[in-house]
Amino acid sequence: MEMQANKCGHEWIISLTQQEEEGDLDAALIQVISDLLEVDNFAIYINKYFFVPVPPKLINTPSDIEHVKPAKIQQLLSKATPNKVRVSHAGGHTASYVPVYHLEDVIGVLIIETPQKLPERIGVMALHILNIYANQLWLLHKSRLDPLTELLNRQTFDKKVMEIVSGNGFLLPRQNVNKDRSWYLAIADIDLFKNVNDNFGHVVGDGVIAQVAKLLKYNFRVEDYVFRYGGEEFAILFQSRSQAAAYTALNRLRVNVADHSFAQIERLTISIGFLALQSIDTVSSIVNQADLALYHSKKTGRNKVTACSELALYDEVATTQ
């Protein structure tokens, strides 16, 4: 029996560590925990942002456990200790709380409800499996980041855009998303960045890129997605209620960059082009449209925000003059 358990444990670990996509990793974990417990009466809450203090999200659909409010989950995490299963008894059931942790940071919890106390060996195995999951999740997280800015990298961009326009997978973990919001893509480029490298050197140039990246992250919500698209160019996938509201958010970013005091640089600005994402568009078409709007911002004076939908109006005015 012990040999069989060891064999299963080995197979479970392999099933987790071979996953290269976050959604597949979540599915593998849910299956492994189901196999381990031999029941579906469990709930897994994970904060996939790691060091950002946001409430963990439910990644599975438990059979009987009610959805726990974010405040309650935060309370559970604050009381959790790595490598220790907490147990409570109420209403004729035993609830076991197994922490999910990366290094010494608790990033989630597995909640299991059973008629009797969970066997110790099951709790130990669950702790081990969740630790393997968290390590693999961290590796996937790091593989998506640009090392200089710690923004999402260019390789991640196409996949994220397609998941949004197709509605497959990408939006499912996002609970409480306002249905009135639409997704927008913005491309932002540092104006005259070549002058920074030429006049101050690439080390200062890298510092400028890193500082702009921080401003981008600061100006958008944790549930939005900011990428280093390439060189001094950035991409932002974000939700907004309308094009006017999206413009306001991007213009606020533009002003914040223009007002920021950069080390060794007297003044720095960015130009931005953006559009609403449509389900019929391909990634190349979407990027091309955003680039056209960005180019318009550049050629009409820089330090501007242009919506792609405005280009038709500009073209119409130009043809009538």
The per-residue pLDDT of the chain, averaged, comes to: 88
Return the pLDDT at 178.
54
Quick check: 311 pLDDT over 50? Answer: yes
C-alpha–C-alpha distance, residues 26 and 110, integer Å: 13
Neighbouring-strand partners of residue 114: 94
pLDDT in tens, 127-167: 999 999 999 999 999 999 999 999 999 999 998 998 888 87
Quick check: 79 pLDDT over 60? Answer: yes
pLDDT in tens, 203-234: 999 999 999 999 999 999 988 999 999 999 99
Quick check: 317 pLDDT over 50? Answer: no
Quick check: 191 pLDDT over 70? Answer: yes
Alpha carbon separation from 210 to 82, 142, 149 (Å, rounded): 34, 17, 5
What's the pTM? 0.83
C-alpha–C-alpha distance, residues 45 and 60, integer Å: 8
Q: How confident is the model at residue 3 (pLDDT cuts 50, 70, 90)?
A: very low
Please give the average per-residue pLDDT across 293-303, as a whole number.
97
Higher pLDDT among residues 148 and 67, named by residue: 148
Beta strand 182-190 with 86-90 is unpaired
> What is the sign of the dihedral through the CA atoms of 194, 200, 206 and 207?
negative
pLDDT in tens, 259-274: 999 988 878 999 999 9
Domains contained in the chain, CATH given: 2-143 (3.30.450.40), 154-320 (3.30.70.270)
Return the pLDDT at 171.
41
Query: Percent of the chain scored above 70 by pLDDT?
Result: 90
Q: How confident is the model at residue 173 (pLDDT cuts 50, 70, 90)?
A: very low
Quick check: 177 pLDDT over 80? Answer: no
Alpha carbon separation from 13 to 112, 156, 233, 297 (Å, rounded): 20, 26, 39, 51
C-alpha–C-alpha distance, residues 70 and 88, integer Å: 19
In the chain the beta strands, taken as DSSP E runs, fall at 42-46, 57-58, 86-90, 93-102, 105-114, 182-190, 225-230, 233-240, 270-276, 305-307
Return the pLDDT at 179.
62
Query: Percent of the chain scored above 90 by pLDDT?
Result: 64
C-alpha–C-alpha distance, residues 317 and 57, integer Å: 49
Return the pLDDT at 176.
44
pLDDT in tens, 240-254: 999 999 999 999 999
